[in-house]
Amino acid sequence: MSRFAPICLFTYNRLSETISTIEALRKNYLAKESDLIIFSDGPKNILSERKINDVREYINKVEGFKSVKIFESKINKGLANSIIEGVSNVVGQYGKIIVLEDDLVTSPNFLDFMNQALQYYENDSEIISVSGYTLNLPSLPRNRDFYYGYRASSWGWGIWKDRWEQIDWEMSNYEVFLKDKKLVKNFLRGGSDMLRMLKNQREGRIDSWAIRLCFHQSLLNLKTVFPSRSKIESIGYSKEATHTVGAKRFLTILDKSNQRDFQFSHFQEVDENLVNEFKQKFSILNRLKDKINNLLTNAF
């Protein structure tokens, strides 16, 4: 297994956000020692084709990493298929992986945190993934570098080959799950929005790799390692953003410290205060506030 995990960046048609994402990543302390693999999805239409070509012209000139590889798709796979296919190929080769999308600004110590956590928890069977992002929660610990959560984050995350390959993307246990009140209750520890997302995924209304990962995580009662100070800030709040337009509950404070060494410990228990605060961010009230803010954002 390589010393540092490869970075997989998934892009589409947002040039400005892609530039910001890569420029911030290039400023990471470990950038020059890390392999960067960029996946560029294909166009849905003529308009997106022009924008994608602009993105591809930029990414083909990217430097500042140990190596840069680019995979350009001729067809539009969609984010879910792009990530499942891309991550499967890369993690199968490297054994571990760090994943970013094209609207995430990283702190300079993002790669340090991710690589150290991936190394520390490599053989910890309680942990499914590592997140570089954290919500801005009132009880975030000040005396340690991390905490545990029940719901994986899709914003700047890492995983290992053995855990990724266990995920059942077809959700073959879905019907059994629905009949088990305990399993449903455990699933909802991550937020009241999850069950509807899972149902929509099952019925083909959405195409999300993340909710399927979270479903697998919940069935096995696995945890995600989060930083106490976020190493990720989303800039995906433009009108072209698919999921996060006007979503103020996801705003967080980016780590501006120079910390490069992080201390971890193997799983013992989850902090219930943090779990409840995390869950509250996805409450019906908070989601309603974001929808109203979304309408106002689009209106003006």
Model-level pTM?
0.92
Whether the per-residue pLDDT at 203 is higher than 90: the answer is yes
**What per-residue confidence (pLDDT) applies to 3?**
87
**217 contact partners, CB below 8 Å, separation of at least 6:** 128, 129, 150, 151, 152, 223, 224
Report the run of H or E that residue 149 belongs to, with start and end. strand 146-149
CA distance 88 to 120: 22
**Cβ atoms 10, 101 nearer than 8 A:** yes
104-106 and 232-234 beta bridge pairing: antiparallel
Helix (H, G, I), strand (E, B) or coil at 277: helix
Helix (H, G, I), strand (E, B) or coil at 230: strand
**What per-residue confidence (pLDDT) applies to 210?**
97
pLDDT digits (tens, 9 = 90+) for 38-85: 999 999 999 899 999 999 999 999 999 999 999 999 999 999 999 999
Q: Tokens in use for 296?
A: 């106002």
Q: Domains of the chain by range and CATH?
A: 7-299 (3.90.550.10)
- Specify which residues 159 forms β-bridges with: 97
- How much is the mean pLDDT over the chain? 92
How many other C-beta atoms are found inside a 10 Å radius of the C-beta of residue 246?
18
